[in-house]
Amino acid sequence: MRYKIFALVAACAFVLNGVGASFAQTKTAAVQTKELATLLPASDGVVSLDVQKLLSESVPQILAGKPQTLGDINAKIDELRDKTGLDARQFEQIVIGVAMREITAREVDLEPVFLARGKYNANALIAVAKLASKGKYREERIGNRTVYVFTGKEIVARNKPQTKNSWFDRMIDRTINSLTKEIAVTSLDSNTLAFGSLARVRETFETKTRVSGEVLSLINRKPNAVLSFGATLPNGLSKFVDLDNDELGRTLDSIRQMSGALEVSANNATLSVAAKTLQAEQAQTLHETLEGLQMLGKAFVGAGRGEDKKVFARMIDNARITRSGAEVLLDLQVPQSDINILLTGIK
């Protein structure tokens, strides 16, 4: 389950007019993503991804020091397009609404629904998926709408790109192994797909309850971000982490909101994470706990040798942990030079 949660997925010079145009485009993308998120059914958490920014700006910038890896990614996108007709570059925004379903007192399952908007014909993409499945799907009805239910693991395994890159192999295999459930797909409008579990797709069309304004506000804190997330946690955070420490568990359970964003510029990548507790005193405890973990991390990683260990030590040292009332903020900025060092380990 952690892989699903964290799973997880990063330049130009401007004259004055160019800066103005870039700002306008960023603002437009943020507005479009916000509008798309309002169409999600009631969700405990929301993730928003600016796919255009990711593929055209963030990934090329992050992989500036690994041109071969960037070339491999572009080649795999092209191969997938040629093999299935699905072109990832046609996607513009993706929002994910996640419902948390309690399985046991210590375990929570995550049930997502995706809304993906882009420069494509949504029904044509569904037709491509039907062809790729070789008829292995069934049809369901939601009102007058047809929903196609696929076994995602079989489709991805059959159509995965051929690669000799071990890093790609591992990522593809992890993706395939995580697809254990059926995927329901239908069109929301002419250029927007809705897909996820059948229950969540049904909620999208059959219920009038939408994502709360509270959750939407969490994903709109950084309008220039390539990825944002926000979630309300009525039962705390400890269910998502295996813990033997009751004190740390109580601290995590005091968290009632989590949000974050990833921003990528020409010089660095910035990760911002915020956690809000019920009371300011609990936030103070969380703040002190994080600072203690930061000190331990410095001591542990700082003793290591190798350039990558030095980068991790700098990351721990540069992480800024602050508190404002009942909210604890963590900001981490990683320069491109350190990203290049970390990426040298990818084969």
3-class SS shares of the chain: helix, strand, coil, % to 5: 45, 30, 25
Whole-angstrom CA distances from 282 to 254, 263, 325 are 6, 29, 10
- The Cα 222–Cα 115 span in angstroms is 20
13-22, 40-49, 170-179, 300-309: which has the minimum mean pLDDT? 13-22
3-12, 80-89, 163-172, 251-260: which has the minimum mean pLDDT? 3-12
- The Cα 75–Cα 88 span in angstroms is 12
- The Cα 13–Cα 271 span in angstroms is 23
Regarding whether 256 and 218 lie in a shared domain, the answer is no
- The Cα 288–Cα 322 span in angstroms is 10
Regarding whether 294 and 206 lie in a shared domain, the answer is no
- Which of these three, 183, 206, 232, is where a domain ends? 232
Is a pLDDT exceeding 90 seen at residue 217? Answer: yes
11-15, 82-86, 134-138, 249-253: which has the minimum mean pLDDT? 11-15
Give, in degrees to the nearest 5, the angle at Cα 325 between 321 and 329.
25
Q: What is the mean pLDDT of the chain?
A: 81
Regarding whether 4 and 147 lie in a shared domain, the answer is yes
**Domains identified in the chain, total number:** 2
Regarding whether 310 and 239 lie in a shared domain, the answer is yes
Regarding whether 251 and 223 lie in a shared domain, the answer is no
Q: How many other CB atoms are found less than 10 A from the CB of residue 312?
A: 20
Phi, psi of 336 (to 5 degrees): -60, -35
Regarding whether 254 and 207 lie in a shared domain, the answer is no
- Which of these three, 165, 197, 232, is where a domain ends? 232
What was the pLDDT predicted at 23?
39
Regarding whether 142 and 19 lie in a shared domain, the answer is yes
Tell me the DSSP string of 229-293.
Answer: EEEE-TT-SGGGS--S-HHHHHHHHTEEEEEEEEEE-SSEEEEEEEEEESSHHHHHHHHHHHHHH
Q: Name the amino acid, one letter, at 235.
A: N
Regarding whether 263 and 157 lie in a shared domain, the answer is no
Regarding whether 238 and 226 lie in a shared domain, the answer is no
Residues 179/196, Cβ–Cβ less than 8 Å: no
Is a pLDDT exceeding 80 seen at residue 193? Answer: yes
Regarding whether 241 and 222 lie in a shared domain, the answer is no
Residues 111/101, Cβ–Cβ less than 8 Å: yes
- The Cα 236–Cα 283 span in angstroms is 13
Is a pLDDT exceeding 60 seen at residue 300? Answer: yes
- Which of these three, 199, 232, 265, is where a domain ends? 232
Range of the domain at 93: 1-232
Give, in degrees to the nearest 5, the angle at Cα 293 between 287 and 298.
125
Regarding whether 144 and 13 lie in a shared domain, the answer is yes
224-266 pLDDT per residue, tens: 899 999 999 877 676 666 666 677 778 888 899 999 999 998 8
Is a pLDDT exceeding 80 seen at residue 57? Answer: yes
Regarding whether 100 and 1 lie in a shared domain, the answer is yes
